[in-house]
Amino acid sequence: MRARLLAACLLAPALLLVIGILIVPLFFDLAMAARDPELRDALPRTATLLGEWDGRGLPGEAAFASTAEELSQAEQEQRIGALAQRLNFQRAGLRALLLKTARADLAPPYHETMPALDARWGDPTVWLVLREARGPLTPLYLLRALDLDLTPSGDVAPVPLDQAIFRNLFLRTLWMSVVTTLLCLLIGYPVAYTLTTLSPRWARIGIGLVLVPFWISILVRTTAWLILLQRQGPVNAALQGLGLTGGPVQLIFTRFAVYLAMVHVLLPFVVLPLYGVMRRIDPVYLRAAASLGAPGWMRFVNVYLPMTLPGVAAGALIAFMLSVGFYITPALVGGPADQMVSAFIASYANETLNWGMAAALAALLLAMTALVVGAARLVVLPMPRGVG
């Protein structure tokens, strides 16, 4: 019992660190995808009044009056920015309307002076947007992350085609991750196998070399690709020198460059588990198959490959989970059409400060990863586990 207590005390600080600064904040962060605090923070009385309004026609004078008063007060106290951004995100142009109204010198009756200042205050759908934004929760960010929108009447509708970017973004992220994972498996499998056929000394050197990039900063490696693939770079010079191309080819800022750099980063993660599994396979099985007359390809497909599947699954899982989160590599060596979800999360969080969107994309990215990994487990687990 005393040992248990001691053990728990030893574990506590590490668990506290992970739970305190990662897991709990992660939940708060993801919750921001559904929270809608801006209107009730900036215009508390208006939020209550709009909640009482039935949503038909225009709200009463009381709602008009509290909107005008609270807007001007929020403007004076300089806390109108978050609300302006929130409403403008739902409907373009509302930022300007809010700021204009907040700075105007309005007098009662407000249901006449406000539409006189700007005709949009006479538009019921503007009031419905405000009513929708009263919180405390909103499906808006999650819907937008799926290219859906909330109409003023509260229905869900697809966003206009020219604004629909996120479904493509998720499909692209998924696709690029799958391609990268497959490339890593196709390249890593024969390499791992060959390493098992070498003498222990050469195998150790080989593994050591495979691990070298593991230790070198991703940023340094990305810089190297930037230099190698530039228009006047060594790769283009070599291609022209060999007479393969007439002029310089666009290599950098392409999908090709992204795959090259991603495979370079992820290959060691795939080779290692494959090598670990292959090294433990007893060659006696292959010899038995050969003695029973199985040709080379049959020995591979029916005997060797099934025994290596745990390694394939482990390598693929690591490669996939790491690739869906890639950010810096596509950002630096890819073009605008090669960016992945992480780039958008970072840009919403760091540049436009739209935390709701950043959180919604993060939640969907995590859900997508969990879904794919879960599905892969279902497919892989029932297979024979080999001799591991």
Partner 1 sequence: MTRFLLRVFTVLVIAFLVLPVFVIVPLSFTSGTLLSLPTPGWSLRWYQDFIASDRWMLATENSLIVGAATALVATTLGTMAALGLFLGRFRMRGLLMAVLSAPLVVPAVITGVALYFAFARVGLNSTLAGLVLAHSLLALPFVVVTVSAALAGFDRTLLRAAASLGAPVHVIFIDVLAPLIAPAIASGALFAFAISFDELIVALFIAGPEQYTLPRQMLAGLREFLSPTICAAAVVLTAVSLLLLALTGLLRSRET
Residues 282-311, interacting with partner 1 (CB under 8 A): 296
Q: Which of 119, 157, 209, 298 binds partner 1 (CB under 8 A)?
A: 209
Q: Which is nearer to partner 1, 49 or 267 (CB)?
A: 267
- Does 270 bind partner 1 (CB under 8 A)? Our answer is no
Q: Which residues of 28-54 are buried (b: 16+ CB within 10 A; e: fewer)?
A: eeeebbbbbbbbbebbeebbebbeebe
- Does 383 bind partner 1 (CB under 8 A)? Our answer is no
- Does 321 bind partner 1 (CB under 8 A)? Our answer is yes
Q: Candidates 186-194, 283-291, 303-311, 376-384 — which segment interacts with partner 1 by CB under 8 A?
A: 186-194
Measured from the CB of residue 320, what is the shortest distance to partner 1 in angstroms?
A: 12
- Does 210 bind partner 1 (CB under 8 A)? Our answer is yes
- Does 381 bind partner 1 (CB under 8 A)? Our answer is no
Q: Which of 42, 133, 251, 324 binds partner 1 (CB under 8 A)?
A: 324
Structure tokens at 196: 């098992």
- If you ran DSSP here, which 8-state letter would residue 137 be given? B
Strand locations in the chain (E): 148-150, 156-158
Return the residue matching tokens 């799926």.
146
Q: Candidates 59-67, 112-120, 208-216, 284-292 — which segment interacts with partner 1 by CB under 8 A?
A: 208-216
β pairing state of 156-158 and 148-150: antiparallel
Measured from the CB of residue 48, what is the shortest distance to partner 1 in angstroms?
A: 28
- Does 169 bind partner 1 (CB under 8 A)? Our answer is no
- Does 136 bind partner 1 (CB under 8 A)? Our answer is no
Close Cβ partners of 55 (under 8 Å, ≥ 6 residues apart):
128, 131
- Please, are residues 267 and 210 in contact by the beta-carbon 8 Å criterion? yes
List Cα–Cα distances, 42 to 33, 78, 157, 237, 350, in angstroms: 19, 10, 28, 60, 23
Taking the C-alpha atoms of residue 197 and residue 48, their distance in angstroms, rounded to an integer, is 74
DSSP, collapsed to helix, strand or coil, labels residue 386 as coil
The angle at the Cα of 264, spanning 182 to 332, to the nearest 5 degrees, equals 110
- Does 29 bind partner 1 (CB under 8 A)? Our answer is yes
- Does 159 bind partner 1 (CB under 8 A)? Our answer is no
Q: Which is nearer to partner 1, 126 or 183 (CB)?
A: 183
- Does 374 bind partner 1 (CB under 8 A)? Our answer is no
Strand locations in 151-236 (E): 156-158
Long-range contacts at 378-382 (CB < 8 A, ≥ 24 apart): 380/309, 380/313
Taking the C-alpha atoms of residue 274 and residue 268, their distance in angstroms, rounded to an integer, is 10
Q: Which is nearer to partner 1, 118 or 193 (CB)?
A: 193
Q: What is the x/- site pattern for partner 1, positions 2-21, by CB under 8 A?
A: -xx-xxxxxxxxxx-xxxxx
- Does 358 bind partner 1 (CB under 8 A)? Our answer is yes
- Does 176 bind partner 1 (CB under 8 A)? Our answer is no
- Does 156 bind partner 1 (CB under 8 A)? Our answer is no
Q: Candidates 117-125, 131-139, 231-239, 286-294 — which segment interacts with partner 1 by CB under 8 A?
A: 231-239
Measured from the CB of residue 193, what is the shortest distance to partner 1 in angstroms?
A: 7
Q: What is the x/- site pattern for partner 1, positions 235-254, by CB under 8 A?
A: --x-----------------
Q: How many CB atoms lie within 10 A of CB 317?
A: 19
Pick out residues in 55-94 that bind partner 1 (CB under 8 A).
none
- Does 186 bind partner 1 (CB under 8 A)? Our answer is no
Return the residue matching tokens 């960016």.
339
Q: Which of 53, 121, 225, 259 binds partner 1 (CB under 8 A)?
A: 225
Measured from the CB of residue 204, what is the shortest distance to partner 1 in angstroms?
A: 10
Long-range contacts at 338-346 (CB < 8 A, ≥ 24 apart): 338/176, 338/253, 338/254, 338/255, 338/258, 339/169, 340/169, 340/172, 340/173, 340/176, 341/169, 341/170, 341/173, 341/365, 344/166, 344/169
- Does 339 bind partner 1 (CB under 8 A)? Our answer is no
